Amino acid sequence: MDRITVTEASQVAEARRRAVTAAQAIGFDETAAGRVAIVATELATNVVKYGAPGEILVGTYADATGAGVELLALDKGPGFPDPAAALRDGHSTGGSAGEGLGAVRRLSQAFDIVSRPGLGTAVLARLTAVRTGAPANEASFGAVTVPLRGETANGDAFAVHERDEGWTAIVADGLGHGPEAAKASDAAIRIFRLNHEAAPAEILAAVHAGLSRTRGGAVSVARYRRAAATLMFAGIGNVAGAVVSGTAVKRTVSLAGTAGHAARRIQEFEYPLEPADVFVLCSDGIATGWTLDGHPGLVAAHPSLVAGVIFRDYARARDDATVLVVRGDAAP
């Protein structure tokens, strides 16, 4: 994802430019790209007026709900005591191309917002090239993944394979950062896609064997079985997993080592994962002590918004950072 710091009005244009560039890169026509421009302008202007310093994350997505451009506006400002008020017609951020967050919601295929007094605001907008008129907030997974500031290559990568009976997910964190780290994590995803029907430990073993000619990294794989409401998990290194029920966080166990080079053993662990829960995988660009305390009800939000809040509150400055959030009740 592209990451744009927003602290004052001149940066609104940069957020708009990068959002439009992302849209055009995946085939949005002039009209569709114009909608993206309005949404990016509104989100960035909102941050300037009410939450600076903040940032806009720009990326693309593809899942069972469709494909398009994804925008996240994240800030640690004073927050809104009543987020619904900011969505009412006539409530404008001022000086922008539309009518505030209400315009963002109307133009978006999927929209979600969370705001807590004293904790800041996070807003998600997803836009498709062709508007269907039907909202698409029921995504089964969402993610934030950004490279270390100053790098263009992201050493982290993720993938989710949805199945009739559940899903399988992976996050790979190439050792270090930059192009060589990206080669390792990209190789891990390729191997995952070839072996996604296998058990997590078997997938992880294939990844471990396949990364021997790269610098290696940390890798975790999870498999959710809907009928049993259980999660099978296997990890090498410090890609940390957690089952979140409400605000309670139960961490999963990863074993020491570096995928591709040193792994004394690979072992699966089983955890309960109820339909209302979410599963979270974080690379070590996210502080290990992250929590959702102070955000009651957040697990019911769009998974990309959950990922955005964790990233906003716990990202470390010295590494690539990835947060993958998958719903327990995800369905293809």
pLDDT in tens, 271-315: 999 989 999 999 999 999 999 988 989 999 999 999 999 999 999
pLDDT in tens, 57-115: 999 999 988 999 999 999 999 988 777 777 765 555 445 555 689 999 999 999 999 99
pTM over 0.85: yes
Looking at the predicted structure, is the pLDDT value of residue 204 above 50? yes
**From CA 229, how far away is CA 139, in angstroms rounded?**
19
pLDDT at residue 138, as a whole number = 76
**From CA 286, how far away is CA 316, in angstroms rounded?**
6
- The mean per-residue pLDDT over the stretch 31-57 comes to 95
Strand partners, 3: 57
DSSP count for the chain of H helices, then E strands: 6, 15
Query: In the chain, what percentage of residues exceed pLDDT 70?
Result: 94
Count of CB atoms situated within 10 Å of the CB of 124: 30
pLDDT in tens, 153-197: 999 999 999 988 899 999 999 999 999 999 999 999 999 999 999
Q: Which fold has domain 2-127?
A: Heat Shock Protein 90 (3.30.565)
Enter the DSSP assignment of 255: B
Report the run of H or E that residue 179 belongs to, with start and end.
helix 179-195
- The mean per-residue pLDDT over the stretch 194-204 comes to 97
Per-residue confidence band for 259, with pLDDT thresholds at 50, 70 and 90 = very high
Q: What dihedral do alpha carbons 322, 139, 165, 168 form, nearest 10°?
A: -10
CATH of 141-327, one of 3.40.50.300, 3.40.120.10, 3.30.70.1350, 3.60.40.10: 3.60.40.10
**From CA 35, how far away is CA 15, in angstroms rounded?**
14
pLDDT at residue 133, as a whole number = 62
Three-state DSSP at 121 gives strand
**From CA 103, how far away is CA 101, in angstroms rounded?**
5
pLDDT at residue 330, as a whole number = 53
pLDDT in tens, 236-258: 999 999 999 988 999 999 999 99
Give the CB-side neighbour count of residue 106, counting CA atoms within 13 A: 11
Residue ranges of the chain assigned to CATH 3.60.40.10:
141-327
CA 305, 188, 302 angle in degrees (round to 5)? Answer: 10
Residue ranges of the chain assigned to CATH 3.30.565.10:
2-127
Looking at the predicted structure, is the pLDDT value of residue 134 above 70? no
Three-state DSSP at 181 gives helix
pLDDT, greater one: 95 or 48:
48
Looking at the predicted structure, is the pLDDT value of residue 48 above 90? yes
Cα separation of the two ends of the chain: 24
- Contact call for residues 327 and 144 (beta carbons, < 8 A): no
Q: How far is CA 318 from CA 2, 56, 146, 284, 332, in A?
A: 17, 19, 12, 10, 36
Amino acid at 332: P
**From CA 209, how far away is CA 187, in angstroms rounded?**
11
